[in-house]
Homo-oligomer: A and B are copies of this chain.
Amino acid sequence: MLTARLSYNGPVDVSELGEFGLIERLTRLVAVESPDLIVGPGDDAAVFRSGDQFLIATTDTMVEGVHFDSLFGTWADVGWRALATNVSDIAAMGGTPTFALVTLALPKNTPVGAMDALYAGLGECARAYGVTIAGGDVVRADEVVITVALLGRAETLDGQPLLLRRSAACPGDAIAVTGTLGDSAAGLRRLQESAAMSDYARNRHLRPSPRVDAGQMAVRAGVRCGIDISDGLLQDVGHICEASGAGAILRASSIPLSDALRAAFPDEALELACTGGEDYELVLVGPRDLLAALAGVTVIGEVVAERGVRVLDDDGNEITFERPGWDAFHS
Residues of A within 8 A of B (CB): 1-3, 5-10, 12-17, 19, 22-23, 25-26, 29-34, 36-37, 40-43, 45-46, 48, 50-53, 55, 57-70, 74-75, 98-99, 101, 103-117, 119-120, 122-123, 126-127, 132-145, 147, 149, 151, 153, 328-329, 331
Contact = CB atoms under 8 A, between A and B. Distances in A.
A40 B74 contact: no
26 contacts: A1-B110, A1-B143, A3-B75, A8-B114, A13-B111, A14-B108, A14-B112, A33-B132, A36-B98, A37-B132, A40-B134, A46-B135, A48-B99, A48-B134, A51-B52, A52-B53, A53-B53, A57-B99, A57-B149, A59-B149, A61-B105, A61-B147, A66-B140, A108-B329, A143-B143, A147-B147
Contacts of A41: 133-136
A99 B142 contact: no
Copies of the protein in its oligomer: 2
Contacts of A69: 2
Contacts of A37: 99, 132, 134
A74 to B, nearest CB: 7
Contact of A53 (B7, B51, B64, B139): B51
A72 to B, nearest CB: 8
A48 to B, nearest CB: 6
Contacts of A120: 29
B61 A139 contact: yes
Given A13-B110, A50-B50, A58-B135, 6 more contacts: A1-B110, A10-B112, A19-B138, A29-B120, A51-B51, A140-B331
A50 B55 contact: yes
A120 to B, nearest CB: 6
Nearest to A132: B34
A170 to B, nearest CB: 24
Most B-side CB within 10 Å, residue of A1, A45, A331: A1
A17 to B, nearest CB: 6
Given A34-B132, A75-B8, A120-B29, A101 B57 contact: yes
Cβ-closest 7 pairs across A and B: A149-B149, A46-B134, A51-B53, A10-B113, A8-B113, A15-B108, A46-B135
B30 A109 contact: no
Given A70-B6, A114-B3, A134-B37, A142 B143 contact: yes
A57 B14 CA distance: 30
A215 B8 CA distance: 37
Contacts of A127: 31
Contacts of A141: 63, 66, 143, 145
